[in-house]
A and B are shown apart, each in its own frame.
Chain A
């Protein structure tokens, strides 16, 4: 824990400041986007006019070339790619044999928090107060979701911005509203957490969240949402009372997702390295942890697919008169479930074939080792999918913040979705996030395979089916962006 001493309080304070600045800049940036637009018909129209076929071919080629370069890259370089430029506080260096405790979140650090590190707990309590106020505002405030602080906090602040910023800047775990209360309430846990459950409860919580996102009739309706937030809070706090702070890293699904994406940040646990080095710095997840990674991708993929004309055509809905979410509850539930089941199966098949090609005969270990490599794909797609929503919803969030604090009137605009040039810039930025995510995923999976097999030739052989999977997934991701959408 030398690294912990080195990072110390100064580092924590520095991060708090960095987070505050980034939030402010991101929110301001959303409002001051050049040219200064909502999911808008004309945006989809301009996208259809762009040469997206060519762009998609270019993106696919980029990923394919990455595959070839990796196969050709000397193993020494490949191993060195994810070595941190500066070591941090948690985790172990690449190549370490013993994984640090807890695949999700720094619960090695969390252990400190339970006792000596209560100094930072006030942040958690303050955030909890803020969340409590937002829930109250959800029930008592304006019921228009673009005016209500709770709807904006959950779907814009957390789901769009906080997820994105976690992957870019590191784990915001200090901002968790539950860490302080759980540390207090769970000081004497009633039960010992059954470790055989692994991250299963967190996975269940995340899938429940995904069902609200994709299946629920009115997820942004403030007073309904208040109930859902309370239910989630009760889940986390009850688990915390029963099992103690370990529950935060086993059952708090949303915080766990943030922690997963945080490993893609160049900054992770106080260290610095190539984005994704945090994945390499950790050990091999258990089955539930591995499935969590794949669920992140499955949910993201269906989030994109369910809006396309193609999907709506499959389920017999006219996209030009989409009759609302109540009409697609059944199909969306089935689609989400299928997506989260099919993806691990296809991924598993690619792993199995690769394992045979490499002659390793340990497909289970390979599955668990390589599953985190899909995180950059899921994260890249999150950035791309929510880019336009961030630009619009970010303005609504600013509008409400400004109203609350007596600032100037913020007039929401969607003008930048109504000119071809700005739509092209946005689309290319989205495509870059998708392609970038896949390139990073390939680098990660190659480095993980090298660690798994220890031998360059076998690593390359084991990667062939997975590389093909990723190239095809790139094309799928870009097709999603280019497709006409109707819901």
Chain B
């Protein structure tokens, strides 16, 4: 395994891949192999990997996201290591399953910090998991980089050790949709959302944003989370409605779309939704024809756009996406494209932060947090394929462009890009004033 401590002539460093780890298991007779990977690098002064504890939704409700987040993270680490790693050291993902479970994820923080000697923790999507694990990360003084898009970071609910530098939060996303909906689709909006916190975030933030522009939410229809038939709710949509804003999620979504299509027939209001509803669902699936001509928010375009820059293509190639946002190995295996880019960008922010503070080991954990807090504008490019970003060190939250796409021929075409300025809102916290 000496290759991990060498820099190749091409300037690349190689981290221990999972494949190597498994092969090591296969030849378990040798003395070196009986040691855990970290122990084998412990003697090396330079070139030892920087260990990133990756809390993955491998099982539980988030598993379909976890698989793609893992794929993107592996691709990002591969790219970073191929470009020389971080200060000449390779990155290594130490992946554990958080079970999409807050308690379990909090236990992982402990494991990352004390058992597997990780430099930091990196965690994914579901908000309740991040909210459950962040306090433990702070107690352990372990930097916790999250990719959850929840507003909990910027709201001030968490702590100095938790940052969200690679994906924008729901509040900014929703706020940025209001100008397009108001100016292009209509001023009288009916909102249909699931009857719990996720739906309320949309309800409250969008209602405030559209009213500020002079529009109006004429009805708010909350649907119980266990509902699987929606026909009784559609008659509640007021006749004056010009736009329907929907954010339904869960297995009932396809039925929701089908029944909405049957309710309206050919004459319908404009319809705008969040792709969260249909993330990883093929839009050309039977039953989704009704969505033709409707609009969706996308964190990053699923379909390769005609004007996509080279670095977007490079990102998609590295992850293994075809032009439709599905796996290159299976056209039906549609990715979670609207969110997963956040893993790629977060890992690149970690790299930049470590280089800025000349990170050398766990003693520099605090310096890493401070270095990231100093970051501000990040240009679009290979490290930030979703677009340019602006990090707010006080709120530990990044801001970036948002995409609105129209379903045309069963595919999503970007019709509007909301600027960073459209997504900004006043700071709700200043973490930099908190002690470590």
Which residues of A approach B to under 8 Å, CB–CB? Answer: 35-42, 44-49, 133, 136-137, 140-147, 149, 217-218, 220-221, 309-310, 312-313, 318-327, 400, 403-406, 411-416, 418-420, 422, 484-487
Contacts and interface: CB of A to CB of B under 8 A. Distances in A.
A69 B104 CA distance: 53
A49 B285 CA distance: 12
- Across the A-B interface, give the 3 residue pairs with the lowest CB-CB distance, nearest first: A324-B101, A415-B332, A44-B251
B18 A147 contact: yes
A484 B28 contact: no
B67 A319 contact: no
Interface string B152-184: 000000000000000000000000000000000
14 contacts: A35-B332, A41-B253, A48-B254, A141-B21, A143-B116, A218-B97, A312-B226, A320-B194, A321-B225, A322-B100, A324-B102, A325-B99, A404-B25, A413-B332
Majority-rule SS of B interface residues: mixed
Interface in B6-44: 18-19, 21-23, 25-26, 28, 34, 36
A40 B64 contact: yes
A327 B285 contact: no
B330 A413 contact: yes
A324 B316 CA distance: 31
A142 B94 CA distance: 8
Contacts of A133: 25, 28
Interface string B278-291: 00111001110000
Contacts of B280: 40-42, 418
B320 A411 contact: yes
B49 to A, nearest CB: 14
Contacts of A324: 60-61, 99-104, 129
Contacts of A322: 60-61, 100
B97 A220 contact: yes
A144 B225 contact: no
Given A142-B95, A309-B226, A320-B249, A38 B18 contact: no
Nearest to B196: A318
A146 B255 CA distance: 31
B305 interface: no
Contact of A218 (B104, B254, B282, B326): B104
Contact of A319 (B58, B95, B225): B225
Contacts of A415: 326-327, 330-334
Given A147-B22, A221-B96, A413-B329, 9 more contacts: A39-B63, A41-B250, A42-B282, A47-B251, A144-B96, A321-B128, A322-B61, A325-B60, A486-B250
Interface of B: 18-19, 21-23, 25-26, 28, 34, 36, 56, 58-61, 63-64, 67, 70, 94-97, 99-104, 116, 126, 128-129, 194, 196-198, 225-226, 228, 249-255, 258, 280-282, 285-287, 320, 326-327, 329-334
A45 B102 contact: no
B321 to A, nearest CB: 12
Contacts of B56: 144
Contacts of B197: 321
A112 B116 CA distance: 48
A41 B198 CA distance: 17
A419 B332 contact: yes
Contacts of A318: 196, 225
Contact of B95 (A37, A48, A137, A147): A147
Contacts of B285: 42, 46, 418-420
Contacts of B254: 42, 45-46, 48-49
Contacts of B226: 309-310, 312-313, 319, 484
A42 B198 CA distance: 19
A326 B333 contact: no
Contacts of A45: 251-255, 281
A270 B375 CA distance: 72
A48 B251 contact: yes
A142 B93 CA distance: 10
A420 B281 CA distance: 11
A323 B128 contact: yes
B281 A142 contact: no
Contacts of A217: 99, 101, 103-104
